[in-house]
Amino acid sequence: MSLELEVHKEPLEVDEILFLVKKEAKERKQYYKVFSFLMVLCFVIPFAGAWYRAFDNAPNAFSPLRFFVSAGILLTISIAALWAMYRINVRRVQADIKEQTKTIECAHVVKKTYMPQNNTYFLYLDSTNKLTIEVDENDYHRLEKGDEVNIEFTTHARLYLGYF
């Protein structure tokens, strides 16, 4: 029995495209909030440091040059980190929206698990993208170890869309 994984692409359905559009808008809004918070911190931290130096009776504690250099360094680090994370995460979702394709991977059930704490059923897969999926009770009892399960995920962002 060969356990090679089969992968192919299909067009996204309308509800999946809407899901990606909502996710992209939500993530952009979240990045804006984080950026706004970091902007405030980039100016508050050097100001707090100046007050700390003033309480230590340091000479020239409120140096404008020191304040703006510190704020500039913090701002540069914040912008670079946020820009990199934006490029990695949001751009992938945008690429999925533009391309409008999803990847379907044929995986095999490796193990079945029932969680009585919250009454959920999980299948462990041999997939390179998704190791476990939550399934409904009927599918849990229908599928056995070694059976094939097709999982769908977005091509670039690798967001899990479902199984069949």
Same domain, 88 and 124: no
Q: Describe the crossing of helices 64-99 and 14-55 by its angle, rounded to 10 degrees.
A: 170
Is-above-0.75 flag for pTM?
Answer: no
Same domain, 42 and 71: yes
CB atoms within 10 A of CB 2: 3
Same domain, 95 and 30: yes
Cβ within 8 Å of residue 82, ≥6 positions away:
31, 34, 35, 38
DSSP state, 19? H
pLDDT of residue 72: 93
Q: Where does a domain end: 70, 99, 128? A: 99
Confidence band, pLDDT 50/70/90 cuts, at residue 2: very low
Same domain, 95 and 21: yes
Q: What is the DSSP string of 98-163?
A: HH-EEEEEEEEEEEEEEETTTTEEEEEE--SS-SEEEE-HHHHHH--TT-EEEEEEETTT--EEEE
pLDDT digits (tens, 9 = 90+) for 43-97: 999 989 888 888 888 788 788 888 899 999 999 999 999 999 998 889 999 999 9
Same domain, 127 and 145: yes
Q: Where does a domain end: 77, 99, 121? A: 99
Same domain, 85 and 147: no
Cβ within 8 Å of residue 35, ≥6 positions away:
78, 79, 82
d(C-alpha 7, C-alpha 21), whole Å: 24
Q: Where does a domain end: 99, 125, 154? A: 99
- Residue 105: domain span: 101-163
Query: pLDDT at residue 159 above 50?
Result: yes
